[in-house]
Structure formats: C-alpha cells, structure tokens
Amino acid sequence: MLPSVLIFCGTVLYTVYMKSFWHTLPKPFFVLAPLANVTDAAFRRIIAEHSMPDVMFTEFVSADGLFLGDERAREILMKDLVFSEGERPIVAQFFTSSPERMERAARLARELHFDGIDINMGCPDRGVEKQGAGASLIKNPELAKELVLAAKRGAGDIPVSVKTRIGYNINELETWLPKLLGALPAVVTIHARTRKEMSKVPAHWDVIARAVAIRDEVKSDTLICGNGDVADIEDAKQKARESGADGVMLGRAIFGNPWLFREEKYVPNTEEKLNILVEHTKLFEELLGDIKNFAIMKKHFKAYVNDFLGAKELRVKLMETNSAGEVEVIIEDFLKQ
C-alpha cells in the first residue's frame, strides 16, 4: 500500500492508503533486474517481444548527471529513460545521495509516465559510492530514508521502491531493513549478499526468508522481492516458495536469453538465437547508436553465440565488427553454411 496524506492548512488530517500496481501483481511476481549497459532500451524491447516479465526496470540512471551535467550528458542519460508501451509496467531506477535531486528525478519519471520509481541502494561501484550513493547508503540509513521520502514527494501517486543488499561488510538486515520499512516503500528488493561479498559467494536466500519475517513482524505492507543466483523461472518459483518472498528479480540469467520469462522453459535452436542477435544489434544501433559505443553490444555476443558447432569461430568474427550491417552479413553467411 502507498500512503497518501491529506493536508489542510498545514495540518495532517488523515492518511489514506492506495494500492500500487505492485500490489495487484500475481504472486510470486518476476522482475527484470536493472543491469548497466545490458538491460538498455534495445534489449528490453527484445525481451518484451519474446517473454515479458511482470515488471521491467531501466538501467540505473544518475540523478546528479540529469541535473548537474551539461546538455550532452543529460541527452545521454535521457536515452536510458526511453521505453516502449510494450515494456509496461516499467520502473525507472535512479541513484544519488541528494534528496533534492532524487525528488526532481522522481518528478521527471512521473512526467515521462513511468509506472514506478526505484532507488538504487546496492550498487558496489566505487564511483557511485564516492558520491554517497548506491551501497554506501547502507551505512547512512537516515539519508536513505530521506531519499525515499524525497522520491515520494516527486513521484506523487507513482509507487517508490528500493533495491539494496543485506548489509555492507556484514549481514545487518535486522537493523537496516526496519529503517527502510519505516519510509513505507512499495517494495524492497534485496540482493542476498553484502556489498563486501559482491557476487563472490552464493546468495543467502535464507536471509531473504528472514527479511519476509521482519516485514511481517513490523506489520508492514511493503512487498519483499529477492534477488541473487536465480537461474530461471522454475528456480525463481522454488526460491519464492522457500523464502516466502512476494517476488523474485532475475539478472544475469537474461544474457543471451530473451526467452527467460516464458512460463515453460524454452530452448531456441541456433538459427533462432542468431536471428535474435541480428535483431538486437539493429535495435541497439537504431535506438542508441548515436550515444553509445557499438562495443557495448559486443558483451552480448558470447551469450548468444555458444554451444553449437562453429560458435567460437563465429564469435571471433563478430568481435571484429563495428556495425549491425556487418553483424548481419557474417551471420547470414554462417547460416548458409
């Protein structure tokens, strides 16, 4: 539930709770994770076409860059906020340590007609942390709460959620999660590792179960979404059953697999995978080619081009390309063979 406060002459008269789209989703719901330079507008459109998740997230976007950067920087960041109607419901994710800029970013997302706003409080990137954002907010719970409240002011009736980790150096969920719940976010997505652990150890899904218990103990309406080491939808369903999580976020499993969110596991043949790669590359060039280096697209090549005869040799050729046209010619020649 999302709180809507009625104020008259500066006095809070009463609080009404309204349902957000999050609370209307079937449980467990499945969410596409925000992955920098991966789940961009081009890839999300491919995913939506082949296996739409219950909720899409944008890549994380710097609220500071949106409002402090020059015109070119803002133009680039605004491309990260491009989406199609087929991707709904879609959530814009922002990072900053400034409540003022978080409020402005949330207001912008509302103007762009996003369905939700998420605050990144889990990114371990040193550059992000130096700004006091991302995972460093785990060490500053009061500021974290301020950011949620600021986002709500800018968001209006759009739900605000948080993506974070179980702790910074150690598991500190017992103190960290209640602080977040106190700000009444619609959802808290928890990557089941500490910042220190990065992705070097298996995700602690038992801690997700504890997060659900903490939420229930404080009688919060906030939904708990688990994240970390989820292989496919069947695995997601099992983890949701075992932990009691309302939803599961899937990230790395999406590489080379836009069919990930299908109800029944789908194994495409080689021709299908390569044709999707061509389509993906063309979309990248069409939507992002003027602001993003084509080399970014190449990180997808290994994911699409594997486990078939001649895959290694084909990848070598593809890594030498500099345009969607070159990719298409090489793949057409390969399929003819």
Domain count, the chain: 2
Helix (H) or strand (E) holding 286: helix 270-288
Q: Which pLDDT value is given to residue 264?
A: 87
Active site residues per annotation = 123
Q: Both 280 and 247 in a single domain?
A: no
Residues 152 and 233 in one domain: yes
Same domain, 76 and 119: yes
Task: Write down the pTM of the prediction.
Answer: 0.92
Judge whether 102 lies within some domain.
yes
Q: Are residues 218 and 105 in the same domain?
A: yes
Same domain, yes or no: 220 and 122:
yes
Is residue 143 helix, strand or coil? helix
Give the β-pairing of 187-194 and 160-167: parallel
- How far apart CA 126 and CA 212 sit, in angstroms, is 30
pLDDT score recorded for residue 236: 98
The answer to the question of residue 261 being in a domain is: no
pLDDT at 19 (0 to 100)? 67
Classify residue 112: in a domain, yes or no.
yes
Give the DSSP letter of residue 55. B
CATH of residue 208: 3.20.20.70
Do 240 and 279 lie in one domain? The reply is no
Residue 82 lies in a domain: yes
Structural domain span for residue 53: 2-254
Is the distance from CB of 212 to CB of 239 less than 8 angstroms? no
Whether residue 77 is contained in a domain is answered as yes
Looking at the fold, whether 243 and 275 belong to one and the same domain comes out as: no
pLDDT of residue 263: 87
Residue 260 domain flag: no
Whether residues 212 and 122 share a domain: the answer is yes
**Domain shared by 51 and 114, yes or no:** yes
Instruction: Please report the pLDDT score of residue 7 as a whole number.
Output: 41
User: pLDDT under 70 in the chain at which residues?
Assistant: 1-19
**Last residue of one domain, picked from the residues 254, 289, 322:** 254
Q: Are residues 68 and 100 both part of a single domain?
A: yes
> Is residue 319, in this structure, part of any structural domain at all?
yes
Choose among 14, 11, 29, 61: nearest CA to 226. 29
